[in-house]
């Protein structure tokens, strides 16, 4: 288990991380979100002891990280770094050896991991011969091939197309199922919502959201309705508690409510003559919540 308790880090007069606390049990995934400059990367560097906190503590399985723990950590920094003139195989073995693994342990796994992430190229190819996307996948393999117990990924989906992002999600979930503790940052709220058990959002170094993803969404109320019925947007807008109603290109009316109870009246009017193809009342998406919270003034 990773425990972060009352972490504070300042640089001169600037507070980059301001009293942050959260925990991640084994076999769980935490998403750390926030705008650029919110304090996500600084938090990762404090967890890894790359920076020294002003106050607070980071505990891994009940103790502060020491040298022997680093072999159980996989870290993917936001700024990628590979040796372009070295082959994939040599590079993966080298990074694994830095984590206490032997060539004998890692070499048989390389083909399996390259297949898992669909790396286009041979393991004897030099990194510089690969596309940018395949280079990124090699660095991801280097982060994960030693099967770390604590995995920290800073913007791992950056630059990946949807197919390769899905491969990465599968890889993260596989680590979770083996009991690893995973924390990652991302600006793609869809990825965060799909794979995270827990969510922390930072704004200007402060923690503004902390909880299970579905509980956070529900806390904002079921203010979104997706409707396919005889009602027009104008009909829906006439109902008290409706803020906005827009008909999409597929014929579905997307409704934003100021009062979730208005959904009952919308449903009653839409179904007054019987069956309708769609009525779906949901809380705002994580992306909508992100925009709401990121745009709030600092207290």
Domains of the chain: 2-217 (3.40.50.300), 221-282 (3.30.70)
pLDDT above 60 (res 295): yes
pTM metric for this prediction: 0.84
pLDDT in the model for residue 70: 85
Task: Give 297's pLDDT tier (boundaries 50, 70, 90).
Answer: low
pLDDT in the model for residue 165: 86
Report yes or no: 54 and 131 within 8 Å, Cβ to Cβ.
no
pLDDT above 80 (res 5): yes
Give every CB contact of residue 14 below 8 A, 6+ residues apart in sequence: none
Residue 259 and residue 262: Cα distance in Å, rounded?
6
Percent of all residues in the chain with a pLDDT value above 70, rounded to a whole number: 99
Task: Give 215's pLDDT tier (boundaries 50, 70, 90).
Answer: very high
120 closest CA partner among 83, 77, 161, 79: 161
Residue 297 and residue 66: Cα distance in Å, rounded?
39
Mean pLDDT, the chain, whole residue set: 91
């Amino acid at each position: 288990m990773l425990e972060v308790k009352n972490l504070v880090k300042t640089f001169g007069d600037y507070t980059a991380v301001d009293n942050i606390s959260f925990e991640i049990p084994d076999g769980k995934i935490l998403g750390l979100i926030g705008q650029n400059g919110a304090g996500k990367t600084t938090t990762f560097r404090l967890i890894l002891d790359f920076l020294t906190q002003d106050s607070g503590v980071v505990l891994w399985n009940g103790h502060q990280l020491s040298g022997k723990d680093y072999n159980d950590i996989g870290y993917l920094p936001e700024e990628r770094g590979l040796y372009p003139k070295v082959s994939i195989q040599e590079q993966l073995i080298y990074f694994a050896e830095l984590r206490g693994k032997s060539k004998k342990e890692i070499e048989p796994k390389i083909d399996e991991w390259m297949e898992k992430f669909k790396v286009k190229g041979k393991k004897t190819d030099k990194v510089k011969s690969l596309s940018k996307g395949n280079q990124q996948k090699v660095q991801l393999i280097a982060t994960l091939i030693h099967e770390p117990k604590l995995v920290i990924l800073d913007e791992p989906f950056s630059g990946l197309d949807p197919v390769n992002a899905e491969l990465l999600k599968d890889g993260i979930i596989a680590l979770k199922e083996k009991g690893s503790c995973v924390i990652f940052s991302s600006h793609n709220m869809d990825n965060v919502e799909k794979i995270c058990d827990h969510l922390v959002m930072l704004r200007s170094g402060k923690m503004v959201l902390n909880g299970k993803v579905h509980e956070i969404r529900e806390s904002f109320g079921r203010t979104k309705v997706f409707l396919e019925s005889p009602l027009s947007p104008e009909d829906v807008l006439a109902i008290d508690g409706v803020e906005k109603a827009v008909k999409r290109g597929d014929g579905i009316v997307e409704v934003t409510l100021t009062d979730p109870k208005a959904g009952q009246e919308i449903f009653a009017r839409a179904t007054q003559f019987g069956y309708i193809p769609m009525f779906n009342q949901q809380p705002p998406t994580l992306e909508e919540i992100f925009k709401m919270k990121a745009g709030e003034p600092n207290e």
